Amino acid sequence: MNSKITTLLFDLDGTLINTNELIVASFLDTLNYYYPDRYKREDVIPFNGPPLFETFHSIDPERAEEMVTHYRKHNLEHHDLLVTEFDGIYETLKMLKESGYKLAIVSTKISAVVMKGLQLTKLDEFFEVIIALDHVEKAKPDPEPVQKALALLGSSPEESIMIGDNYHDILSGQNAGTKTAGVAWSAKGREHLEQYNPDYILEKMSDLITILEG
């Protein structure tokens, strides 16, 4: 495989595990609690990705903390019911790990919820480094989470790819100097990601193998 790339950094939600329905349900439950009947499914799709506090602060600065707490309670209670793994993820990660690639998670979720998702889908065995929201001062799209993961892995940006389903994944990688890959199964759609000029668009996770064999 491509000797130039040694390190693969993955977003979690919407990239490796399908949390789309859980996220939509948690946003709708929270927003309908505070603003009955004001929000519909299509209104909350754009909220998928940025840190929760940022999203709720933009809606109601005074109650943002309270809304984050409500969201997280719903999210945890319904987590195992609604979260599934995308097709081909386990097999691809297993192959990458066995081929000697260094793998990390870089997420805007808090670490406890990241671990819950990884353990549920049995993907936790593949990751030696996890960078979550509670490990950084600044979340993606700031380069800090990517830089922190690379430092812990002992990797340089030039030998790394940041892979995600959202614009802030692409920008965080670009800001840190890595290559970037967007996933075509993003809830926001392929066109949304293409606007940010990732180096690659993956139609399926196993496309990574083809890219690395390059």
pLDDT per residue as tens digits for the range 171-203? 999 999 999 999 999 988 899 999 999 999 999
- Catalytic-labelled residue, pool 11, 13, 165, 169: 11
Please count the other Cβ atoms lying within 10 Å of the Cβ belonging to residue 91: 12
Among 31, 60, 82, identify where a domain stops: 82
- pLDDT, average across residues 41-63: 92
State the pLDDT confidence band at 50, using cuts at 50, 70 and 90.
confident
Distance separating alpha carbons of residues 130 and 145, to the nearest angstrom:
10
- pLDDT, average across residues 50-75: 96
Q: Do 47 and 131 reside in the same domain of the chain?
A: no
This prediction has a pTM of 0.91
Contact residues for 211 (Cβ-Cβ < 8 A; gap 6+):
2, 161, 181, 200
Q: Do 67 and 94 reside in the same domain of the chain?
A: no
State the pLDDT confidence band at 2, using cuts at 50, 70 and 90.
very low
Query: For residue 206, what pLDDT is reported?
Result: 96
Q: Do 31 and 53 reside in the same domain of the chain?
A: yes
> Which structural domain range is residue 151 located in?
7-18+84-213
- pLDDT, average across residues 65-69: 97
Q: Do 128 and 33 reside in the same domain of the chain?
A: no
Cβ proximity of 64 and 30 under 8 Å: no
Cβ proximity of 8 and 169 under 8 Å: no
Q: Return the SS3 of 48.
A: coil
State the pLDDT confidence band at 46, using cuts at 50, 70 and 90.
confident
Q: Do 100 and 206 reside in the same domain of the chain?
A: yes
Q: Is 37 a catalytic residue?
A: no
